Amino acid sequence: MAIVTGAAKGMGKADALKLAGAGAKVVLCDIDLSGCQQVAEEIKNPSAGSGRARGESVALRCDISKKADIDAVVAEAIKKFGKIDILVNNAGIFPSEPFLQMSEQNFEKVIDINLKGSFLMAQACAKEMQKQKSGSIINIASIAAIKGFAGLSHYCASKGGMVAMTKVMAVELAPLGIRVNNIDPGAIDTPGTRVMDMKEQDRLALVAGVPMKRWGNAEEIANAVLFLASDESSYMTGSTMVVDGGWVAG
């Protein structure tokens, strides 16, 4: 059974569909409940030719910056499916704001959702995973953890913190049978990046320095998630998979 945060759209939706297609029962959580419900319907009734079998899921509203919401999601997941095998910490926000104009409130909001929320969800799920002495936690960070982007000091800080936290979690949770890994996506074409008020020529310019010369898609991140969630990655923990078309390497 898998919990996917930020599952209403974009990478979270792709991750949920990929895991469900591989046979996992999925708890979809997002602050956008109606979006999660639509994804749940796609899992229940996949489109013809999608190659996915019908799956089982539940959609729940969750603000991951609030511990009470997270505890409620984990309790409902255990009630409905009995255990938690996989967590995909995908939920996050990235509002752009220049460093010198950034307010304390906006900085705190990004940290609360992207970093604190991932910590709280991982902690709650790991407490359940240790009961069966197995589990895979996948934190979706960003190449912003290792590369500076103007206007995103709060976002870069949150994702850098997530990468560091992944390593500590991996060390502490390995004796409990729980693996923790991280994915650093590059420029991924999602509804979230589509609303960044960028003209098409600006979108092309953004990836001009990417060796593969294109934006990635959510399915390509979901493929990495499925690998890290599966026994195919059974000797991996504390690792970071960079999925960015070669942007960091270039």
| DSSP secondary structure letters along 52-113 | PPP--EEEEE--TT-HHHHHHHHHHHHHHHS---EEEE---------GGG--HHHHHHHIII
Q: What is the DSSP letter of 174?
A: G
209-228 residue pLDDT tens: 899 999 999 999 999 999 99
**pLDDT tens track for 10-22:** 999 999 999 999 9
Chain segment 143-164, per-residue pLDDT in tens: 999 999 999 999 999 999 999 9
User: Which residue, 235, 139, 223, 221, is CA-closest to 182?
Assistant: 139
Least confident stretch, 52-61, 161-170, 220-229: 52-61
The burial class, CB within 10 Å (0-12 / 13-18 / 19+), for 160 is middle
Residue range 36-43: mean pLDDT, rounded: 97
| Separation between Cα atoms, residue 72 and residue 60, nearest integer Å | 9
Confidence band, pLDDT 50/70/90 cuts, at residue 71 = very high
Instruction: Name which residue leads in pLDDT, 97 or 52.
Output: 97
DSSP state, residue 152:
-
> pLDDT tens for residues 100-109?
999 999 999 9
What are the backbone dihedrals phi and psi of residue 81, each rounded to the nearest 5 degrees, phi first? -120, -10
The predicted pLDDT at position 48 comes to 62
Find the catalytic residue in 81, 94, 119, 155.
155
CA distances from 228 to 50, 96, 105, 171 (A): 22, 30, 34, 17
For the question of residue 155 being annotated catalytic, the response is yes
Domains of the chain (ranges plus CATH)? 2-189+217-243 (3.40.50.720)
For residue 111 the two structure tokens come to 């940290």
Whole-structure pTM over 0.85, yes or no?
Answer: yes
